[in-house]
A and B are shown apart, each in its own frame.
Chain A
Amino acid sequence: MLSTASQRPDGSHVQSAVTPQAPAVSRGASPALSARGLTREFGVVVAVDGIDLELEAGDFLTVFGPNGAGKTTLLSLLGGRLKPNRGEVRVGGERLAFSETAWRARIGVLSHQTFLYAHLTVAENLRFFGKLFGLTDLDERIPARLEQVGLSDRSDFLARQLSHGMRQRAALARALLHDPELVLLDEPYTGLDPYAASVLRGVLSSLKDGRRTVVMVTHNLTQGLELANRLAIQVRGRFGWYGERSAVEPDTFEHFYHRVVEAGSA
């Protein structure tokens, strides 16, 4: 049963925005990102099962969940990399249509894979992706982004010559190069040492500028709680819990998380 999902981590009931099967929270006429009945099946496996979602500009949503919960699939659907079997995604009120590609310029994706070409330099990678995004001011934009992620002195290094942490920061520069209004982060901290994670956290924190909407999926509870103002726990393709960050206490969240996962897996 998912009834536990409607409780605060301390046991008290959460009244707002915390209903496991109807998690959408409407706070505006045209949300920055919305999903309705989003469903994706792989054969008999339902990876994402009727998820509803609504986020405003400035929201930072972290989606937690165990392995196989469908978090990455959800992110792929929100970013238009996967086509849903049912349901729809809207960015700024505009429905994502697979026959068109222009809306992709509004989305930045950072995966645990860097999407970088190992045999191109960092600057060449950014220039290449900048051209694909139709950017014309790359001579100014690339140094600015590299400075933002602390890689100004590595712009002429081949991507394969960088450490994993640096590659991930270069990937973040790539994802933010076109100044997207929606940023999708798939386990961005994977494999990073504490220093690299700290740098990445600083850059991600700068995304909370009120203009962007960020969705991050992770199974790391501590890192997931740090920047989010909204949280979701995904279990077996569904949101077992969805609500405000302020509704949970960091000290007891792990216990709460386990209860939601157990309830959703039952």
Chain B
Amino acid sequence: MTYLSQIYAIVWKDLLLEFRTRERIAAMGAFAVLAGILFNFSMDQTVVRPQDIAAGLIWMTLVFGGLLGIGRTFHLEAQDGAFQGVLTSPAPKDAIYIGKITANFVLLYIVALLVVGIFTLFFGLDLGDHPGMLALALALGSLGFVALGTLFSAVSSSTHMGETLLPILVFPLLVPMIIYGVSATSRLLADRPIADVAGNLRMLGAFAVLAVGAGAVMFRFVVEE
């Protein structure tokens, strides 16, 4: 019970801080809108069908935009040593980590839905017959992303290179998520049968589970001096 209460406390605190400062959601949201506008002008829609390339653009926008926010996970924590206070508490490190990725997941998923909304608006994208499955694919991908992004954000926040280092560390590890995420999204937008998408969704789920598990184990080694 205490364990869940500690996770809840972290989630509540992170979301309340974000609600007050709007530091990360504003950056990610603005990036998503601007990327959507630029992509809209970067292709001739009389030659290229948006439906054919939207999946890749959606996931790239999510990854680049998401990193703007996830990379600043520990920015507010560093002010006045607040995170040191968290580390002096009896809360297990994995509870702290799960709390932080849960809050990050909420933020990133909002951005993911915003990205899809923007592409629907600018490209006249048809979400196909299974928008629920598309939402599931984005949720699983977002979870895997925040699991790794939060872990490496903790790593990079303690280095001189900081946010410069983060994409170098994270992007190579996101390749499986991007492959299966783009594949699932493409097939869903093309109205392929669910059976054609199930494998990709399973791989996205496996990636998310592995990323969360590895992050929960490794987080303590990252934050302990």
Contact surface of A with B, Cβ cutoff 8 Å:
76, 79-83, 98, 101-105, 107, 109, 111, 113-120, 124, 128-129, 131-134, 159, 167, 174
Contact = CB atoms under 8 A, between A and B. Distances in A.
Contact of A81 (B12, B80, B88, B91): B88
Say which size band chain B's interface belongs to.
Answer: 20 to 34
Contacts of A120: 13, 16-17, 20
Interface string B76-90: 100111101111111
Nearest to A124: B16
Contact of A132 (B17, B81, B91, B225): B91
B88 A134 contact: no
Interface string B112-129: 000000000000000000
14 contacts: A80-B88, A81-B84, A81-B225, A101-B89, A109-B88, A115-B81, A115-B85, A116-B85, A119-B20, A131-B5, A131-B6, A132-B9, A134-B5, A174-B85
Contacts of A132: 6, 9-10, 86, 89-91
Given A81-B225, A124-B13, 13 more contacts: A82-B225, A103-B90, A104-B89, A117-B13, A118-B79, A118-B80, A119-B17, A119-B76, A124-B16, A131-B9, A132-B9, A132-B89, A134-B90
Interface in B1-36: 2, 5-6, 8-10, 12-13, 16-17, 20-21
Interface in B61-94: 76, 79-82, 84-93
B85 A129 contact: yes
Contacts of B92: 101
Contact of A128 (B9, B21, B87): B9
A40 B175 CA distance: 40
Contacts of A80: 88
A239 B76 CA distance: 37
Contact of B80 (A109, A113, A128, A133): A113
A115 B88 contact: yes
B16 A107 contact: no
B224 interface: yes
Contact of A79 (B82, B88, B93): B88
Contacts of B13: 117, 120, 124, 128
